[in-house]
Chain A
């Protein structure tokens, strides 16, 4: 079935530290795993995504890893900055037809200077 569990729900780090957010999914047919960032009062925006044929993807300070066997994927932010403070949502989708995105419950990241 469709279900995405996201942990932790809140995460506080000091500026410069790394942050890791993990998601576990149940749908074995999922092939697409995006991460969205939502700043306070703003819309969710895609920051990085990964497809099932790739185990890791990096974009500057952010990276995503995928373990299809274990059905989990993670967001890694290195050298965190105060402007990284936001709510982060993972999501998953089947790579067929018009299947919808199923979102995790979100992680509120607070980066303290």
Chain B
């Protein structure tokens, strides 16, 4: 199994541009999580899906952030317009259904907004 796949691995963009981060969960996992990691805030949960349905998006910072999961094998996190304070590592994680299973993290996308 290839594990959780994220793309791109690195993204550098200018303030005001739209950024789209992509995630492919492990096959058979129907829970998907988006996290943001910074030195100041640590590891923050932005949103999570179960069976492609958003369950909790209370961690999404503001309306500039949106996430979708159109099918069981693909999710996107979009930032529009991007700002320098959005610079962070964004991780996607997936797990089997239910509360008793490990979350497997992807390699992350390092986003730099200049």
Contacts and interface: CB of A to CB of B under 8 A. Distances in A.
B91 A98 contact: no
Interface string A73-113: 00000000000000001000111111111111110000000
Contacts of A46: 102-103
A44 B91 contact: yes
Interface string A34-57: 100000001111100101000000
A100 B43 contact: no
Contacts of A42: 107
A100 B105 contact: no
Nearest to A32: B99
Interface residues of A, number: 25
Nearest to A94: B99
Given A43-B91, A44-B91, A98-B55, A103 B99 contact: no
Given A43-B91, A98-B55, A101-B45, A32 B100 contact: yes
Contacts, number: 46
Contacts of B56: 100
A34 B43 CA distance: 14
Contacts of A95: 99-100
A89 to B, nearest CB: 6
A43 B99 contact: no
Which one of B31, B50, B105 has the highest number of Cβ atoms from chain A below 10 Å of its Cβ?
Answer: B105
B108 interface: yes
Interface string B82-110: 00000000010000000110110111100
B99 A93 contact: yes
Contact of B107 (A32, A43, A49, A99): A43
A45 B33 contact: no
Given A95-B100, A106-B43, A100 B108 contact: no
Contacts of B106: 43
B70 interface: no
Contacts of B50: 98
Contacts of A51: 100
Interface of A: 31-32, 34, 42-46, 49, 51, 89, 93-106
